[in-house]
Every structure is written in structure tokens, then in C-alpha cells.
Amino acid sequence: MSAVKFDEGRLMSVLVAPIVSEKATMVAEKSNAVTFKVLQDATKTEIKAAVELMFKVEVKGVSVVNTKGKTKRFGKTIGRRDNIRKAYVTLKPGQELNLSGEAA
């Protein structure tokens, strides 16, 4: 696969936030994967390039999940949560990405 060049400013905005939950922690321990909330129009190659650029690690693969926002009520008012796009980034063996802030 040829090395594709991306705009560095775009790559810095692709990753919105890390997802720290019980499920994300279990996935991280089991398959050396980190979970991120990403932009709706982000591609797998952009996500891979962004993680490698920002965290200086080697990425094995990227899986993407689109989650539809739920409709919620608060009294008479009906609202809707935003749609979310999650990226499960699998790291190569020997690579580690620590998002918890603990010193290793």
C-alpha cells in the first residue's frame, strides 16, 4: 500500500476523544485495542495516520462502528442524542498506549 499524505491539521481533529468505559477497558486488555470517538466523516486510513502521528505507535488495524443516537424524553420535550462514530484501533504486538494518565 502506498504512503498516502494527509493534512496534519485534519489529522489532529480526526480523534475527538478517547472512550473510557468498562467495555473499552475490557477490549484494551483482551486484544490490545484502544477506543476513540472520531469525526463522522473520518476514514480508517485517516484514523490510523492520526493515531500514529499523535501517539507515536504502530497500528495493526482499525474497526469503525456507527452508533445511532437515541431519542429521549424529558417531560413533554422530546430530544435526540447525537450519532457517534467509534474507532477500535488495534496496536501491533509490543506497542502500548496509556490513556489513563498513570505513570508506567
pLDDT per residue as tens digits for the range 40-53? 999 999 999 999 99
Can you list the positions of beta strands (E) in the chain?
15-18, 33-38, 59-67, 71-74, 77-80, 84-91
pLDDT at 35: 94
pLDDT at 42: 93
Residues with pLDDT less than 70, the chain: 1-4, 99-104
User: How many whole angstroms separate alpha carbon 97 and alpha carbon 53?
Assistant: 13
14-24 per-position pLDDT tens digit: 999 999 999 99
Q: Which domains does the chain have, with CATH numbers?
A: 8-91 (3.30.70.330)
* pTM score of the predicted model: 0.84
pLDDT at 98: 73
The residues, ordered by sequence, that sit 6+ positions from 44 with a Cβ below 8 Å of its Cβ are: 62, 64, 87
pLDDT at 100: 62
pLDDT at 96: 84
